[in-house]
Amino acid sequence: MNVPSFLRHPVTLYLFGCVLLLFSAFLLAEHAAAVRQFTTLTFPLAAEIPSLERRLRVLEDQVQAAELQAMLAEAAEEEAVRVFVFPSDPAVPRLVAFFDVLRDDLLSQRLLLDMSELTVGEASGVADSPDFRRVPLSLTARLRPGGLERVLWFLDHAGAVTVADVLLPEEIDLLLLRAEEENPSSIVALEQFLSTDVLRYVREPKPFEEQVQRSLVGDGFRVAFAGVRDGYLATARSFLGGRFGMALEKERLWPLRAMRILRSDVRMDGDVHHLSLDFEAYSRAES
Amino acid sequence: MSSPDARIAFPLFAFAAALVCALLLSRLLFLPRLAGVRLHGETMYGSSLTRFYADLRDRVDAQEEARNHLVLPGRDPLSLFLRRLRRSDVSTALLFAAVARGAENAVRDRPDAVFLESFHYDAAGRTLALAGDVRHVGPRSMTVLAEFIETLQRIPFVDAVEHQRFLREEDASGAFHSPFSLLLRLRSSSVLP
């Protein structure tokens, strides 16, 4: 083959060699970038995709199962919220009666020295929510240790209707996660448990707990459920159970009207807590 | 500059040519396998794989939200308003309990070392003002107070703890104590049911 002489010249070969070396450096950099992309992006994403797809299928099944159950459970709870939690009348006779029952209960347990009458202010509108009205309230009390927690717990949980309402969001998330890992179809049992009327639950917790535990028997769920049952649910059972809970049920004082603490002052005097509370109760605005 | 020697020029050219050929072959045959992932019978590369992953993630999040929405009772506007109302504030019962626990555990075997005199919770200002005194720990009272403040900062719904300068005073009997006045700035509740 006849190769032109200038191509065989050492200078030309040298220059071509240098150009090819530069080109190979570019190709090597491209390889390095591809390997880096594989290790930092492609591989982690590819490894996560199968588990995400499995999770998506599980969640789709759970949504289907939960939709049916939700339709059945909804009506009764909505009614309780409409009638008791956000009544149409801003007057507060039920709240006054509740604090009377609470006062008697705390006195009987020697957790209260004295509690003022509820001071009720004028109802007014809620600035950013025209469908609601608020009534300012205040009270003072002298409490023994243990009494303060109870009073504040009831204000924090005003409006609670179901078991889910007295759990922390983190606890609910944990139960859902464990149920999802174990048996996706068991979401219905968990949904039923979370939708249980909290007053019915605290009166006789065992049947409700056993029902959900029959559907979810794995260790992960069992441990999570035990933690929830012995955590904030135990507080709810302690504060809402017994004779006090029965009195609330008998007088139809539960669920409580929706309330929000605006200001609370606590001053310690030995083992006596002087509590001064400003809070407000909500109602629906009448159209 | 002298011209390159033929003994260097040709090997350099041959080596560079061979290297380029090998890298080109690798680029055509090896890199596509490394950069792509086969999913559902289709090979996906960098950006399309990222898009597929993001889309899948969005669908999982949407289904999770729908599931939680269905599982948690109360989907009517009243219940949603109630939930918004309750989550806008910190649970005072939990907050007071966490602060009292922090004070009790500030010094091992000495639960009365941090004495809490008063709490003042203000929902509008999202603050909790605390006043008290560190006692019965001798000259360590300022150290104990600093540790107590660190404990308060670890409470999940406490955003920041503001305090004036630390003091160590002597009472009439010559015992050291550190009175304090703290302002806890609170964040939105993540722990209120």
- pLDDT digits over A24-52, tens only? 999 999 889 888 888 888 888 888 888 88
B163, B149 Cβ separation under 8 angstroms: yes
Contact A166 B94 (CB under 8 A): no
Whether residue B2 is contained in a domain is answered as no
Whether residue B8 is contained in a domain is answered as no
Contact B72 A155 (CB under 8 A): no
Whether residue B141 is contained in a domain is answered as yes
Which tokens is B15 given? 């080596």
pTM of the model: 0.72
CATH number of the domain where residue B137 is located: 3.30.1360.100
For residue A31, which of B37, B45, B35 has the smallest C-alpha distance? B35
How many contacts does A have with B, using Cβ atoms within 8 A? Answer: 237
**Coil, strand or helix at A28:** helix
Chain-wide mean pLDDT for chain A?
Answer: 87
- Give the model's pLDDT for residue B34: 73
> Cα dist. A269→A114, A280, B115 in Å?
14, 27, 11
- Adjacent-strand bridge partners of A126: A129
For B96, nearest residue in chain A (alpha carbons): A149
Same domain, yes or no, for B99 and B64? no
What is the DSSP secondary structure assignment for residue B40, as one 8-state letter?
A: T
Chain A residues within 8 A of B189 when measuring between CB atoms? none
CA–CA distance, A129 with A191 (Å, rounded to integer): 30
Same domain, yes or no, for B182 and B97? yes
Per-residue pLDDT 10s for chain B (193 aa) are 455 677 788 888 899 999 999 999 998 888 877 777 777 777 777 778 888 899 999 999 999 888 887 777 666 777 777 777 777 788 888 889 899 999 988 888 888 889 999 999 999 899 999 999 998 888 888 889 999 999 999 988 899 999 877 788 888 788 888 999 999 999 865 443 3
> Cα dist. A186→B42, B73, B128 in Å?
35, 17, 42
A153, A234 Cβ separation under 8 angstroms: no
A195, A77 Cβ separation under 8 angstroms: yes
Q: Going along chain A, which residue ranges are E strands?
A: 112-115, 119-120, 124-126, 129-143, 259-269, 272-284
ipTM over 0.90: no
Listed by start position, the domains of chain A span 5-53, 64-284
For residue A258, which of A127, A103, A137, A172 has the smallest C-alpha distance? A137
Same domain, yes or no, for B98 and B172? yes
Whether residue B115 is contained in a domain is answered as yes
CA–CA distance, A118 with A281 (Å, rounded to integer): 12
Whether residue B10 is contained in a domain is answered as no
Domain that holds residue B70: 45-75
The tally of domains found in chain B comes to 2
Whether residue B101 is contained in a domain is answered as yes
For residue B81, which of A70, A172, A85 has the smallest C-alpha distance? A85
Query: Phi first, then psi: what are they for B134, rounded to 5°?
Result: -100, 120
For residue A280, which of A157, A117, A92, A135 has the smallest C-alpha distance? A135
Tell me the pLDDT tens digit for each residue of A89-111.
Answer: 888 899 999 999 999 999 999 99
- Over pLDDT 70: what percentage of chain A? 94
Contact B75 A70 (CB under 8 A): yes
> Cα dist. B84→A11, A195, A240, B161, B190 in Å?
79, 19, 24, 26, 12
Q: Cα A256–A260–A261 angle (5° rounding)?
A: 120
Tell me the pLDDT tens digit for each residue of A108-146.
Answer: 999 999 999 999 999 888 887 888 889 999 999 999 988
For B63, nearest residue in chain A (alpha carbons): A59
Contact A45 B123 (CB under 8 A): no
DSSP string, B60-95: HHHHHHHHHHHHSS--SHHHHHHHHHHHTS--HHHH
> Cα dist. A273→A43, A49, A280 in Å?
60, 56, 22
What is the DSSP secondary structure assignment for residue A42, as one 8-state letter?
A: I
Same domain, yes or no, for B142 and B62? no
Same domain, yes or no, for B129 and B170? yes
Whether residue B71 is contained in a domain is answered as yes
- Give the model's pLDDT for residue B188: 67
Whether residue B3 is contained in a domain is answered as no
